[in-house]
């Protein structure tokens, strides 16, 4: 049987304010880890809609993407189970909106943090993946691509 390989598509928000980046601390099978606000792209949504939704769910902040920071492919092998997952990550930067203090954070999210790149560099063992720091580095270096780099065809919203 020939099974087609399909990476998991995720979206991530790279949000900087006064030299600090917005991160989430979350429960994973490997323990508490730090990650950019991120999650899986859902059916029927564009990547821009997905990153806005995930940021709101994980941080209680509204987020409007304004540019693509990068497209990343990474592979993760879960030590406990041997599960082998490849992720295709679309990372966005944008404008942070209002905070909704009535909102409960997504399941598994312990808290949000604002950390400097130096603080993050000091604890790589706590990163959910190497892409956490890579996306921040690319953001710091000014890497930006127009939102139109990724086209969402209208067929995504049609049944």
Which domains can be identified in the chain, with CATH numbers?
8-149 (3.90.79.10)
How many angstroms separate the Cα of 14 from the Cα of each of 64, 119, 132, 144? 11, 16, 9, 11
Amino acid 159: pLDDT: 73
Distance CA 61, CA 38 (A): 13
Amino acid 133: pLDDT: 97
Amino acid 117: pLDDT: 97
pLDDT in single tens digits along all 159 residues of the chain:
578 888 999 999 999 999 999 999 999 988 999 999 999 999 999 999 999 999 999 999 999 999 999 999 999 888 778 888 899 999 999 999 999 999 999 999 999 999 999 999 999 999 999 999 999 999 999 999 999 999 999 999 987
Distance CA 25, CA 120 (A): 12
Beta strands in the chain, from DSSP E residues, in sequence order:
8-13, 16-17, 20-28, 31-35, 38-40, 61-77, 84-99, 109-115
**Phi and psi at residue 145, in whole multiples of 5°?**
-125, 150
Amino acid 1: pLDDT: 58
Amino acid 82: pLDDT: 81
Amino acid 26: pLDDT: 97
pTM exceeds 0.85 for this model: yes
């Amino acid at each position: 049987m020939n099974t087609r390989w399909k990476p998991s598509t995720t979206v991530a928000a790279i949000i900087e304010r006064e030299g600090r980046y917005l991160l989430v601390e979350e429960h994973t099978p490997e323990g508490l880890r730090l990650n950019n606000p991120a999650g899986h792209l859902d059916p029927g949504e564009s990547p821009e809609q997905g990153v806005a939704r995930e940021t709101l769910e994980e941080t209680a902040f509204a987020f409007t993407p304004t540019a693509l920071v990068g497209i990343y492919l990474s592979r993760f092998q879960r030590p406990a189970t041997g599960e082998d997952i490849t992720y295709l990550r679309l990372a966005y930067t944008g404008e942070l909106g209002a905070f909704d203090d009535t909102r409960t954070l997504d399941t598994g999210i312990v808290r949000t943090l604002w950390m400097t790149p130096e603080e993050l560099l000091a604890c790589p063992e706590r990163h959910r993946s190497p892409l956490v720091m890579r996306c921040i580095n690319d953001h710091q270096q000014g890497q930006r691509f127009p939102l139109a780099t990724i086209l969402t065809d209208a067929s995504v919203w049609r049944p």
